Amino acid sequence: MKRRDFITKTLCSGLALSLSSCRSNSPQGTCTFGLVTDVHYADRDPKLEWNRYYRNAFDKFKIAIDYFNTHNPNFAICLGDIKDQKKQPTLDSTLSFLEKIENVFSLFRGNRYHALGNHDLDSISKTQFLDRVTNTGIDKNQSYYSFDVNNIHFIVLDSCFRQDGVPYDSGNFQWFDASIPSEELLWLEKDLNQTRYPSIVFVHHPLDDFNLPDKRISISNAGDVRSILEKNDKVKAVFQGHHHDGNYCLHNNIHYYTMKSVVDGPIENNYALVSVDMEQSKISIQGKGDTDSVDFALI
């Protein structure tokens, strides 16, 4: 189906709904969260051929966090690649970039979460990353997890595994080799079976491999993951990163929304407040910077 059949530009009434939902005491069946991805912060010169301005990402991310604090969403999430590394990386410099940008995220006055991205693990391990970030209420050893807000279930997946099941660790991977291992698939199926609530999924690498200019951008076993998500009609939307240009499709009644990156461009920015309203059967994205504001009708 075509994008225009399911998305309409947010009008004043939709904007009012989004803003009224941006409170930590929002009613059951509603939730608002701050959304950002692919910050790629590092203290290094721009990579002009890729349009990546690593240093500039620091201030752009700070703008997003300030905006979230103004509107008080239930939580904020980064969909991966919050940091990057030097052209000639060292462990100390990479960890310093992570700690500095996580300090910005810590300015958010609410619960915050991360999905692991490939650049988060370019020269450090998952343990080193998870030890230095906060996923509110989640054990430091868990790279994939779930939580509930106002009778809505949220699932954060870890797609940073090679197809052979080996977890990403200090650059032992290729950008086109991302997978969800069998153990995580079993956990996902069990998690969805146990929840009574409508569900939203967050992941770094895209799951809509049929809808991308290069299928290698997506998770290699995306079809297996989608089969689990489609089993019981609980999953309403998937929010993704990695593909910096952004993307959208509706497939088998699940919305797949790929957020645009922070790092691309010297001044361009992308962040959003996402309001979920199950009673109204709608998800509203209030985009900021170069991110459009749109509504999704839940099927």
Interhelix angle for 91-105 vs 56-71, to 10°? 30
Cα–Cα distance for residue pair 93/99, rounded to 1 Å? 10
Protein fold of 3-297:
Purple Acid Phosphatase; chain A, domain 2 (3.60.21)
Residues in contact with 222: Cβ distance below 8 Å, sequence separation at least 6, in sequence order: 206, 207, 208, 209
Q: Compute φ and ψ for 284, nearest 5 degrees.
A: -115, 125
Question: What stretch of H or E contains 171?
Answer: none
**Residue 158: C-alpha distances to residues 63, 142, 189, 190 (Å):** 27, 9, 14, 16
The predicted pLDDT at position 7 comes to: 39
The predicted pLDDT at position 19 comes to: 35
16-26 per-position pLDDT tens digit? 333 333 444 66
Q: Which residues of the chain have pLDDT under 70?
A: 1-26
Cα–Cα distance for residue pair 270/282, rounded to 1 Å? 22
**What percent of the chain is modeled with pLDDT above 70?**
91
Question: Does the pTM of the predicted model rise above 0.85?
Answer: yes
